[in-house]
Amino acid sequence: MDKSDVVAALAALAQDSRLDVYRLLVQAGPDGLPAGQVASRLKLAPNTLSFHFDRLRQSGLVTVVRRGRSMIYAARFDTMNALIGYLTDNCCAGASQGCVVVACTPESKVAPILESARVRT
Amino acid sequence: MDKSDVVAALAALAQDSRLDVYRLLVQAGPDGLPAGQVASRLKLAPNTLSFHFDRLRQSGLVTVVRRGRSMIYAARFDTMNALIGYLTDNCCAGASQGCVVVACTPESKVAPILESARVRT
DNA sequence: GGGACACTTCAAATACTATTGAAATATTTC
DNA sequence: GAAATATTTCAATAGTATTTGAAGTGTCCC
């Protein structure tokens, strides 16, 4: 993850609605949520939400797959971990004081859908 | 740390120069660096840098104290930890899969300067 | 106190971001 | 295939951020 990716991810998260969306997806876990459910929970207009999802997707923070008429968005934990790693990297020039690194690696409970699941990153 | 603080901190970090500045301060550790040294290392105009420091300070990511003619800026590790905590909070609805939380709590090697050290947060 | 040094503040120009309403696309159901 | 559902794309507008040059403030040293 290079600097421009990090800036893009931070910029994506640095907005009220998107931060809410992202956190909702983080809490939802690897199986994600359909766009409509995010829209209704957060009371966002579908076109506005679509714009925000796009930012999150372009910056690598979420993935999306189509399932029927719905678009299922899910948080990318690898990106979140890389982001945090970048921020805390070489903290205090590597001094030994308690700097623990985060690692979120949850697993999906849903079997991967192979045919209709073309993931757009 | 409430949502608006988190958005402010993320927005502060979501900018090329500021991200560089912040990381430099994180690596420098709790004793910080004088503004001029940051300016020369990152090749930034002093007024531009001052603007960026202000953003970082307003969002609680850095502190500043005057030492003689210099302004010493330092990263606030408590804010960084809170920020990361917010992002990873309730990850996967609290599922038990390996979600470790970060904690950076380094200590200064410099004895606190009591007279001239009015910290502006 | 006068000059040099280290930074900050101000004002103006330019560029980016978010939101809205209207129209378009993909998928399912009848 | 037409209607309904779920979501995206487009165009316009209003608000916010970054940079630059010029001027200002606080501190040290003679």
pLDDT, tens digit (0-9, with 9 covering 90-100), for A50-79: 999 999 999 999 999 999 999 999 999 999
Among all residues of chain A, which has the CA nearest to that of B12? A14
Is the CB of B84 inside 8 Å of chain A's CB atoms?
yes
**B80-98 mean pLDDT:** 76
Distance between CA atoms of residues A17 and A116, nearest Å: 29
pLDDT at res. A99: 62
Distance between CA atoms of residues A52 and B81, nearest Å: 26
pLDDT of residue B66 exceeding 70, the answer is yes
**B52-74 mean pLDDT:** 97
- Listed in sequence order, the residues at least 6 apart from A77 whose beta carbon sits closer than 8 Å to its beta carbon are A30, A104, A105, A106, B91
- Listed in sequence order, the residues at least 6 apart from A35 whose beta carbon sits closer than 8 Å to its beta carbon are A46, A49, A50, A53, A70, A71, A72, A73
pLDDT of residue B55 exceeding 50, the answer is yes
pLDDT of residue B113 exceeding 50, the answer is no
Displacement of CA B22 from its chain's centroid (Å)? 6
**Angle (deg, nearest 10), helices B16-28 and B35-42:** 120
Residues B81, B104 contacting (CB under 8 angstroms): yes
Summarised one tens digit per residue, pLDDT across range A94-118 is 665 556 556 677 777 665 444 444 5
Residue A74: its H or E element: strand A70-75
pLDDT at res. A119: 67
Instruction: Strand D: list positions under 7 Å from protein Cβ.
Output: 5-10, 17-23, 26-28
Distance between CA atoms of residues B86 and B80, nearest Å: 10
Pairing relationship of beta strands A70-75 and A33-34 according to DSSP bridges: antiparallel
pLDDT of residue B53 exceeding 80, the answer is yes
Mean of per-residue pLDDT scores for chain B: 86
Q: Determine whether the interchain pair A104/B88 forms a contact, defined as Cβ–Cβ distance below 8 Å.
A: yes
**B72-100 mean pLDDT:** 80
Q: Which residue has the higher pLDDT, B15 or B110?
A: B15
Among all residues of chain A, which has the CA nearest to that of B105? A98
pLDDT at res. B121: 74
Distance between CA atoms of residues B28 and B24, nearest Å: 6
- Listed in sequence order, the residues at least 6 apart from B50 whose beta carbon sits closer than 8 Å to its beta carbon are B35
Residues 19-48 of A with CB under 8 A from B: 19-20, 22-23, 26-30
pLDDT at res. A104: 73
pLDDT at res. A116: 40
Q: Indicate if the alpha-carbon torsion angle B108, B110, B114, B120 is positive or negative.
A: negative
Summarised one tens digit per residue, pLDDT across range A22-45 is 999 999 999 999 999 999 999 999
